């Protein structure tokens, strides 16, 4: 199997897909990864492939990773590279020729995979959003690759993804839902880690803590989150807010501007907002929190932060986007996009944390990495067995 990535940069889709690749490799399949970009500049963060946690996990697990070496600033859904040099196509051809099935992480790599003259292999596209019309030319490229027989199946991480792509004209029979899962040994309540992180940040043990794990992107609606944080911190004098992800750091001037606007005259409340940036110990961050918050306005499918946070014992509070409401049903709260309502829900989540804990514990198997990987393996085995190898280019 060969997986093709746009690049290695912070985001739930890359985390899930890399974990799937590792799990499939552990199960006996042979996997390689080809990344179009070797370095990406986005969310006010320079992200080198070699520094990325997914890259390090893949290579440590014996999965070979190569790159075409491009450097770019990617903008969600607006840029899809479609002009490639001879050496880039030669490197891609070598990688594809060694594979029986190609996995495309989201639809953007199809601009490369479907280039004329490359080896013909059945392609499975892994879809991780619920707004196909907001992906620039990528949706058209997906439809074209389906029409010419290159794409034989699509994996949707959420029911909302399948519904959205079907409504956009992708044949529903090609859309297979495999919900996201996480490593339950890693993501679990951990009182020792909770105490240690709080101590390192100077947060008292009984203080209520809300965590926001997201990259700095318009779809995440950071201004709404910050307005809710202002309302909540005013209501909860002992409360603290943790923000982590690409761009959630002091070096992002746009984030500082958002904070200034959201807090205004109550700027002193922002002293209890901690900007943690990209973290590689999210299980510890979630374990230290009481609430995991999401305020996205669009694009989400099955947000990984909600699942990881829940599995660590944090109560999820989310806006109704993608499959978020389905994921947190019975375990947390769904809010309108209103800062006061969100702040009230955070307080309710803190108050009800002990009451909701049994339901969170009982749901763990539903969000299992093992279940997710087994479903991927079954689909890919079926594609390999049923789809004849396409003819090679002349």
Query: Which residues make beta-bridge pairs with 316?
Result: 292
**Which tens digits make up the pLDDT trace of 4-44?**
999 998 889 999 999 999 999 999 999 999 999 999 888 87
| 295/248 Cα distance (integer angstroms) | 15
Residue 387: per-residue pLDDT: 66
| 279/244 Cα distance (integer angstroms) | 7
Query: Which residues make beta-bridge pairs with 84?
Result: none
Confidence of residue 73 (pLDDT cuts 50, 70, 90): low
Share of the chain above pLDDT 70, in %: 96
| 317/337 Cα distance (integer angstroms) | 12
Nearest CA to 307 out of 176, 196, 127, 179 is that of 179
Topology (CATH level 3) of domain 191-367: Rossmann fold (3.40.50)
Neighbours of 256 (CB within 10 A): 13
Nearest CA to 181 out of 306, 295, 56, 282 is that of 306
Residue 222: per-residue pLDDT: 98
Handedness of CA 322, 324, 329, 334 (dihedral sign): negative
| 162/164 Cα distance (integer angstroms) | 6
- Inter-helix orientation angle 253-263/222-235, to 10°: 40
Residue 388: per-residue pLDDT: 65
CATH entry, 2-181+370-386, from 3.40.50.2000, 2.30.40.10, 3.30.420.40, 3.40.50.300: 3.40.50.2000
- Note the Cα 250 to chain centre separation in Å: 22
**Which tens digits make up the pLDDT trace of 123-154?**
999 999 999 998 889 999 999 999 999 999 99
Q: Is the pLDDT of residue 379 over 60?
A: yes
Residue 77: per-residue pLDDT: 40
Show contacts of 81-89: CB within 8 Å, 24+ apart. Answer: 81/36, 81/111, 81/112, 82/111, 82/137, 84/112, 84/115, 88/112, 89/115, 89/117, 89/118
Average pLDDT of the chain is 94
Query: Which residues make beta-bridge pairs with 319?
Result: 335
| 181/163 Cα distance (integer angstroms) | 20
Contact 3, 34 (CB under 8 A): yes
Task: Please indicate, yes or no, whether the overall pTM of this predicted structure exceeds 0.85.
Answer: yes
DSSP alpha helix (H) spans, 2-45: 12-26
Residue 80: per-residue pLDDT: 43
How confident is the model over 107-119, as a mean pLDDT?
94
Query: Which residues make beta-bridge pairs with 35?
Result: 5, 67
CATH 3.40.50.2000 maps onto the chain at: 2-181+370-386, 191-367
How confident is the model over 234-249, as a mean pLDDT?
96
Give the SS3 label for residue 251. coil
Residue 81: per-residue pLDDT: 57
């Amino acid at each position: 199997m060969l997986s093709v990535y746009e690049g290695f940069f912070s985001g739930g889709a890359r985390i899930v897909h890399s974990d799937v690749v590792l799990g499939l490799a552990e199960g006996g399949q042979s996997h390689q990864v080809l990344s179009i970009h070797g370095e990406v500049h986005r969310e006010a963060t320079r992200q080198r492939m070699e520094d990325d946690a997914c890259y390090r996990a893949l290579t440590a697990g014996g999965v070979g990773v190569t790159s075409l070496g491009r450097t770019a600033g990617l903008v969600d859904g607006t840029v899809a590279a479609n002009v490639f040099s001879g050496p880039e196509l030669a490197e891609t051809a070598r990688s594809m020729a060694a594979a029986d099935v190609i996995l495309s992480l989201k639809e953007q790599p199809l601009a490369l995979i479907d280039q004329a003259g490359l080896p013909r292999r059945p392609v499975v596209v892994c879809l991780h959003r619920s707004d196909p019309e907001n992906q620039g030319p990528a949706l058209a490229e997906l439809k074209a690759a389906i029409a010419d027989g290159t794409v034989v199946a699509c994996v949707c991480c959420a029911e909302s993804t399948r519904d959205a792509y079907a409504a956009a004209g992708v044949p529903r029979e090609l859309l297979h839902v495999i919900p996201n899962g996480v490593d339950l040994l890693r993501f679990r309540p951990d009182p020792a880690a909770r105490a240690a992180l709080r101590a390192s940040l100077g947060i008292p043990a009984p203080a209520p803590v809300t965590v926001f794990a997201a990259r700095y992107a318009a779809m995440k609606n950071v201004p709404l989150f910050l307005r809710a944080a202002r309302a909540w911190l005013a209501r909860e004098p002992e409360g603290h807010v943790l923000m982590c992800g690409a761009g959630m750091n002091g070096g992002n001037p746009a984030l500082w501007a958002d904070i200034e606007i959201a807090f205004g005259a109550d700027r002193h409340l922002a002293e209890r907002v901690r900007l943690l940036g990209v973290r590689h110990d999210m299980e510890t961050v979630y374990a230290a929190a009481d609430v995991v918050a999401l305020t996205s306005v669009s694009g989400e499918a099955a947000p990984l932060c909600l699942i990881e946070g829940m599995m660590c014992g944090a109560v999820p509070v989310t806006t109704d986007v993608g499959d978020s409401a389905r994921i947190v049903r019975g375990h947390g709260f769904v809010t309108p996009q209103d800062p006061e309502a969100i702040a009230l829900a955070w307080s309710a989540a803190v108050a009800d944390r002990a009451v909701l804990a049994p339901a969170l514990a009982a749901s763990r198997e539903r969000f299992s990495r093992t279940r997710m990987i087994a479903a991927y393996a079954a689909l890919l085995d079926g594609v390999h067995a049923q789809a004849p190898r396409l003819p090679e280019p002349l």
